[in-house]
């Protein structure tokens, strides 16, 4: 059974450690206590949850989560952070550290037979999209994801058809997950402060039977090509995959552009091409 401690924002901050941010790794360490508390409340860990944090950094989110839950697995690529993380975590709970590039972590194997994972993390801006797509590949073993990313990326994730920010990332994520932006985070909440605003977002993977995608690889290819050159119509953008007749057969006008299609339209078109 997990230990549970108070997550009252008024309590003393968890003891952490200091480390120099590495620009090459896109590190911006969160330090604003109010934002940290909001993230922990958004995660709202329960006793039997299997929490996995991506990129714990100096432990700003790590230690409050340990205080609230008692157990946590973290994935950290920066070798210099492993020892101080492990040492500082001793007074907060049981910390398991996986020293690896998160893109090489098999979340399905990590979940094993013990139940789904709940992912949390302040994602490095230079790797946020690859990490999101990697997580999608393992969505069947992920209960939910609470991530902090560049606000522009969160806007793209949640954008709807007709928006200038609606694109490949929007369609791919919304096809497999319910995407809910939670709140914005100013640059001053980090050391060093980034040049852009950040935002926290929750992704809730959809039940497999509700997704309706027959061939995930074909779906991904259709979405990729459709948005490859946004100004092109579907007739031209998808010319390597199909002709206008097949697009029309799926009930979609070939003279439309990708940003005019709903997520369900992409699913229907990809299924028609895969059949």
Q: Across the strands, what pairs with 94?
A: 71
Pairing of strands 29-30, 190-191: antiparallel
Q: Across the strands, what pairs with 120?
A: 53, 146
Tokens coding 99: 């020293």
Q: What is the spatial distance between Cα 113 and Cα 122, in angstroms, rounded to a whole number?
A: 27
With a CB cutoff of 8 Å and minimum separation 6, the contacts of 220 are 172
* 55 assigned to a ligand binding site: yes
* 30 assigned to a ligand binding site: yes
Tokens coding 125: 């801006």
With a CB cutoff of 8 Å and minimum separation 6, the contacts of 72 are 51, 52, 53, 62, 65, 66, 89, 93, 94, 95, 96
Q: Across the strands, what pairs with 187?
A: none
Check if the beta carbon of residue 266 is closer than 8 Å to that of residue 222. yes
Q: Nearest CA to 266 among 218, 230, 233, 228? A: 218
Q: Where are the alpha helices (DSSP H) in the chain?
A: 33-43, 62-69, 79-89, 107-111, 128-136, 151-158, 168-176, 208-211, 216-226, 234-237, 244-249, 263-274
DSSP 103: G
Check if the beta carbon of residue 103 is closer than 8 Å to that of residue 131. yes
Binding residues for S-adenosyl-L-methionine: 28, 30, 55, 76, 122
Per the annotation, binding residues are 28, 30, 55, 76, 122
């Amino acid at each position: 059974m997990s230990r549970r401690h108070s997550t009252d924002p008024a309590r003393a901050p968890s003891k952490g450690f200091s480390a120099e941010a590495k620009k090459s790794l896109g590190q911006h360490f969160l330090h604003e206590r109010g934002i940290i508390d909001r993230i922990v409340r958004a995660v709202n860990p329960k006793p039997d949850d299997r929490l996995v944090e991506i990129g714990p950094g100096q432990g700003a989110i790590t230690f409050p989560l340990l205080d609230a839950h008692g157990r946590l697995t973290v994935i950290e690529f920066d070798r210099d952070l492993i020892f101080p993380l492990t040492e500082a975590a001793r007074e907060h709970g049981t910390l398991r550290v996986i020293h690896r590039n998160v893109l090489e972590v098999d979340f399905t194997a990590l979940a094993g037979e013990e139940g789904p994972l709940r992912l949390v993390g302040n994602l490095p801006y230079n790797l946020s999209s690859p990490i999101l797509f990697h997580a999608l590949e393992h969505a069947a073993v992920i209960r939910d994801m609470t991530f902090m990313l560049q606000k522009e990326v969160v806007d793209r994730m949640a954008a709807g058809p007709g928006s200038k920010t609606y694109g490949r990332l929007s369609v791919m994520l919304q096809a497999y997950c319910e995407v809910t932006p939670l709140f914005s985070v100013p640059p001053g909440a980090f050391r060093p402060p980034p040049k852009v605003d950040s935002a926290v977002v929750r992704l809730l993977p959809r039940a497999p039977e509700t997704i309706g995608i027959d061939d995930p690889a074909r779906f991904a290819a259709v979405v990729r090509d459709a948005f490859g050159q946004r100004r092109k119509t579907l007739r031209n953008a998808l010319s390597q995959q199909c002709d206008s007749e097949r697009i029309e057969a799926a009930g979609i006008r070939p003279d439309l552009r990708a940003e005019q299609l709903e997520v369900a339209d992409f699913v229907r078109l990809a299924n028609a091409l895969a059949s």
